[in-house]
Copies of this chain bind each other. A is one copy, B any other.
Amino acid sequence: MRARILELLRRHSGNYVSGEEISQGLGVSRTAVWKHMRELKHSGYIIEAHPRRGYTLIQAPDALLPDEIRTRLNSSILGREIRYFDSLESTNNEAKKFAAEGCPEGLLVVTECQNSGRGRLSRGWFSPAGKGIWMSVVLRPPFSPQEAPKCTLMAAVAVNNAIREIAQINSGIKWPNDILYNGRKLVGILTEMSAEMDAINYVVIGIGINVNIDVSEFPEELSAIATSVSAEVGSKIDRVGLLSAILKHLEKSYTEAIQNGFGRLLDEWRAQSITLGQEVDVIGSNRKFSGTAVNIDDDGALLVKKGDTLERVLAGDVSIRPSAK
Which A positions have Cβ atoms within 8 angstroms of B? 96, 100, 120-121, 142, 144-146, 148-149, 151-152, 176, 190-199, 201, 285, 314-316
Contacts and interface: CB of A to CB of B under 8 A. Distances in A.
Contacts of A100: 96, 100
A201 B192 contact: yes
B314 A146 contact: yes
Contacts of A142: 285
A314 B198 contact: yes
B194 A192 contact: yes
Contacts of A151: 197
A196 B201 contact: no
A92 to B, nearest CB: 10
23 contacts: A96-B100, A96-B194, A120-B196, A120-B198, A142-B285, A145-B145, A145-B148, A145-B193, A146-B314, A148-B195, A148-B197, A149-B197, A151-B197, A176-B197, A190-B196, A191-B197, A192-B194, A192-B195, A192-B196, A192-B201, A193-B195, A193-B197, A197-B315
A148 B199 CA distance: 12
| Identical subunits present | 2
Q: Give the residue among A96, A121, A151, A196 with the most B Cβ atoms within 10 A.
A: A196
A199 B315 contact: yes
A200 to B, nearest CB: 10
Contacts of A176: 197
A319 to B, nearest CB: 15
A121 B199 CA distance: 7
A30 to B, nearest CB: 48
Contacts of A96: 100, 194
A316 B120 contact: no
A190 B196 CA distance: 7
Contacts of A196: 120-121, 190-192
A134 B100 CA distance: 21
Contacts of A152: 197
A150 to B, nearest CB: 9
B194 A193 contact: yes
A201 to B, nearest CB: 7
Nearest to A142: B285
A103 to B, nearest CB: 15
A120, A142, A148, A194: most-surrounded residue (chain B CB, <10 A): A194
A316 B100 CA distance: 23
Given A144-B315, A146-B146, A195 B198 contact: no
A250 to B, nearest CB: 16
A259 to B, nearest CB: 13
A136 to B, nearest CB: 13
Given A120-B198, A145-B193, 6 more contacts: A121-B196, A148-B197, A149-B197, A176-B197, A190-B196, A191-B197
